[in-house]
Amino acid sequence: MRKAIFITGGGSGIGRATAQLFASRGWFVGLGDVSEAGMAETARLIGGDPFTARMDVRDRTQWRDALQRFVTASGGRLDVLFNNAGVAQGGAFEAMSEDETDRVLDINLRGVIHGAEAGLPHLKATPGSALVNTCSAAGLYAGTGMSIYCVTKFGVRALTDSLDAEWQEAHGVKVRSIMPSFIDTPLLSGATADSNQSMRERVVEMGLEFTPVEKVAEAVWEAVHGRKRHVVVGKTAKRLAFIMRWAPGLVSRIRPKAAE
């Protein structure tokens, strides 16, 4: 029986690249997204018989329904749940509206928690299973103009640490995160809260690199099959991880220069 992976945010970006990679290696793929058009395009690129579910990760009922239907379609398996759906919103803290703040928190953090809640019964029932969460380099260091986004990614990192310790011992389920640098996906198209400049333009202005989604997909594969709890991807993320481990005081001197 084929192994099975369910991917939120499967209609574009990291989710699409991961779906293509796992499908190419013989896995049964499930896609969850708010965009039916995006999932249809991913399904076309994959070919075969991917499962799709239009869902909002902020809704616990939609989570439970989507996973139950996916597990039925997969023959009872959930080898990997990839908690990937997210939004990017930057800008000065005081410039963000209450709705913008709530949206980032609800999708990027609460949505991941909801996925863990809904996924655990199915992961426990599948030997050797894994929960993989999309974190970020923003879960390593909280830079300026990204306060709420960083809150969510630090939260995802903490959740990953805690659940991996709990679930491996209690249920035999490993929990992993991927921590990529900036990815040139549709998430970066939106303007920051304090200007008309997009997140993509801000990254370019800071002189930071974009990590190809294909590399991030490979990192998901590594997370599933390797022993590292957090898989760091891309030059910026790896540089931050190194500095935060060996010389954390240097980060505050380096990041502001990049933004000048």
Residue 20 in this model has a pLDDT that exceeds 90? yes
pLDDT of residue 248: 58
pLDDT of residue 90: 77
The SS3 call for residue 34 is coil
- Given its phi and psi angles, is residue 128 left (phi above 0), alpha (psi -120 to 50 degrees) or beta? left
As for how many domains the chain has, the answer is 1
By percentage, how much of the chain surpasses pLDDT 70?
81
What CATH number is associated with residue 40?
A: 3.40.50.720
- Which tokens go with 66? 């989507």
> Active-site residue among 22, 70, 82, 149?
149
Q: What is the pLDDT of residues 32-68, one digit of tens each?
A: 999 999 999 999 999 998 999 999 999 999 999 999 9
Mean of pLDDT values over 207-211: 67
pLDDT tier at 205, thresholds 50, 70, 90: low
> Is 141 a residue of the active site?
no
Q: What is the pLDDT of residues 146-180, one digit of tens each?
A: 889 999 999 999 999 999 999 999 999 999 999 98
Q: pTM of the full predicted structure?
A: 0.86
Give me the domain span that covers residue 113.
4-259
Q: 96-123: buried (b, 16+ CB within 10 Å) or exposed (e) per residue?
A: beeebbebbbbbbbbbbbbbbebbbebb
E-assigned strands of 43-197?
51-54, 80-83, 130-134, 174-180
Residue 134 in this model has a pLDDT that exceeds 80? yes
pLDDT of residue 193: 52
